[in-house]
Amino acid sequence: MYILLLPLLAAPLAARPFDSLPPARTRVAYEPAGRAVTITVGPFRLPAMGHDHDMMMMMMDEWAEDRSDLVTWPADTWLQGFQLRVVDGAGRELSRRLLHHWAVIDVDRRELVYPVAHRVMGGGAESGDVRLPPTVGVPLPAGHRLQAFFMWHNDSDQDLEAVYLRLTITWLPGNLQPRPAPVLPFWADVDFHPGEGGANRYDVPPGGSTRVAEFTVPVSGHLLVLSGHLHDYGASIRVEDAQTGEILARVTARRDADGTVRGVSRELLGLWGPGPHLEANRRYLIVVVYDNPTRTPLTGVMGVIGGLFQPDDVRAWPAVDPTNPDYQRDLAGFLRASTVAMANRTRMLP
Ligand SMILES: [Cu+2]
């Protein structure tokens, strides 16, 4: 199972439709019989960018985001999974690696930890599709509005003239019996700055550092799955009870001998038991540990956790507040090209 959370996304300015192409548009196919909704966005023209990564980084400031229109969800459902495809005008499959990263947000639900729009699904170039076991599901009621954000990156030597993003979301009916257990993806950042792409980065002096941030959740529940995102020389991230110091969960970096982080462990906390229980409004800590064996500071590192949370009572999940300044800043960040600085952010559950 992959659950991927990509908080901030955008796409190259170059990925604009050809003048000769119709403007990119969003089509939604609701297939009740197949218990699927397919969202298609395109066409996009993707000029070859080659393998020059430095050039890519230099151009980033010039990049703008690509996004779908708002898609109103058609039925009361439990989300079960998704399948992402990149296709050409004839429906032929292209390399999924053309999509550098992507996310779908639900503007009508708030995140667990922050009062910002909920990241329902997402992924990076290397990530796969997701399928949850039928005993759990992400509750998604009719009328919620979803929006996809994504960034293309054509690192081949060949221009592509009409590329489409095709996302198929599978679901179970909302009245299904027995009722699946409600689970919601969540994330938390040790340096949370809503809407300010890049501001959640910090530096690590020689010798290493431990960075701590406090957080609360507005609804009690269990941590079922936990993973995270660290840059090179990252060691671990743990969740502690702020009062007792008890360690509730911990993820660790998979590193090469030279400190390169290949990924962060995925802890199936709810596999053999209910998983650690978080209480509403109790203080918890996210503790991010970096080693730094070099003689210079590590710059611009990050520490993010993410996973699946099972609320005790999903009806207690607070309503989204679109007037909340953090909500507005965060959403504006999605819509702004500057968030592209975050391009390499977060594969949460590898
Ligand atoms: Cu990062």
Cβ contacts of 206 within 8 Å, gap of 6 or more? 292, 294, 295, 296, 297
Q: Check pLDDT > 70 for residue 42.
A: yes
Q: For residue 151, what pLDDT is reported?
A: 84
Distance, CA of 306 to CA of 6 (rounded, Å): 10
CA of 92 to the centre of ligand 1 (A): 33
| CATH 1.10.3470 is the classification of domain 182-326 | no
Tokens linked to 79: 């989300």
- Residue spans per domain, the chain: 25-173, 182-326
Residue bearing the bigger pLDDT, 124 or 279: 279
Phi, psi of 4 (to 5 degrees): -125, 135
Torsion angle in degrees (nearest 10) through CA of 347, 99, 131, 78: 100
Number of CB atoms found within 10 A of residue 49's CB:
20
Report whether pLDDT(260) > 60. Answer: yes
Nearest to 139 by CA among 187, 83, 73: 73
Per-chain mean pLDDT for the chain = 85
Q: What is the pLDDT of residues 271-313, one digit of tens each?
A: 888 899 999 999 999 999 999 999 999 999 999 999 999 999 9
Compute, in angstroms, the gap from residue 232 CA to the centroid of ligand 1. 9
pTM for the structure as a whole: 0.84
Strand (E) or helix (H) holding 59 = helix 53-59
pLDDT-derived band of residue 32, with 50, 70 and 90 as boundaries?
very high
Strand pairing report for 136-140 and 181-182? parallel
Backbone torsions φ then ψ of 331, nearest 5 degrees: -65, -40
> What does the alpha-carbon distance between residue 303 and residue 312 come to, in Å, rounded to a whole number?
27
Residues 6+ apart with CB under 8 A from 182: 78, 136, 137, 138, 139, 310, 311, 314
- Residue 59 C-alpha to ligand 1 middle, in angstroms? 18
> What is the structure's pLDDT at 53?
53
Burial letters 286-311, b for 16+ CB under 10 A, else e:
bbbbbbbeeeeebeebbbbbbbbbbb
Which run of H or E residues covers position 54? helix 53-59
**pLDDT, mean of residues 248-271:** 93
Query: How far does residue 314's CA lie from ligand 1's centre (Å)?
Result: 30
Tell me the sheet residues that pair with 184: 309
pLDDT band at 327 (very low <50, low <70, confident <90, very high): very high
Dihedral (C-alpha) 129, 65, 190, 305: value to the nearest 10 degrees? 0
Provide the pLDDT confidence category of residue 102 given band limits of 50, 70 and 90: confident
For 57-71, the pLDDT digits (tens) are 544 433 435 889 999
Give the distance (Å) from ligand 1 centre to CA of residue 334: 16
Contact 135, 180 (CB under 8 A): yes
306-320: pLDDT as tens digits: 999 999 999 999 999
Higher pLDDT, 339 or 233: 233
pLDDT of residue 16: 41
Residue 224 · residue 309 · CB < 8 Å:
yes
6 alpha carbon – ligand 1 mean position (Å): 10
How sure is the predictor about 230, in pLDDT bands with cuts at 50, 70 and 90? Answer: very high
The per-residue pLDDT for range 133-187, each reduced to its tens digit, is: 889 999 999 999 999 988 888 888 888 889 999 999 999 999 999 999 999 999 9
Ligand 1: distance of its center to the CA of 118 in Å? 19
Q: Which of 113, 42, 102, 107 is nearest to 72 (CA)?
A: 107
pLDDT at 18 over 50: no
Ligand 1 centroid, distance to 252 Cα (angstroms): 15
Q: What is the mean pLDDT of residues 18-42?
A: 84
The CA 229 to ligand 1 mean position distance, Å, reads: 6
230 DSSP β-pair partners: 303
Task: Give the Å distance between the CA of 129 and the centre of ligand 1.
Answer: 21
Closest to 18 measured CA to CA, from 43, 55, 39: 43
pLDDT confidence band for 258 (50 / 70 / 90): very high
CATH number listed for the domain at residues 25-173: 2.60.120
Q: How far is the CA of 313 from the centre of ligand 1 (A)?
A: 32
For residue 134, give the amino acid letter. P
Mean pLDDT, residues 72-98 taken together: 94
Check whether 34 has a pLDDT greater than 60: yes
Give yes or no on whether 25-173 and 182-326 have one common fold.
yes
Phi, then psi, of 177 in degrees rounded to 5: -125, 140
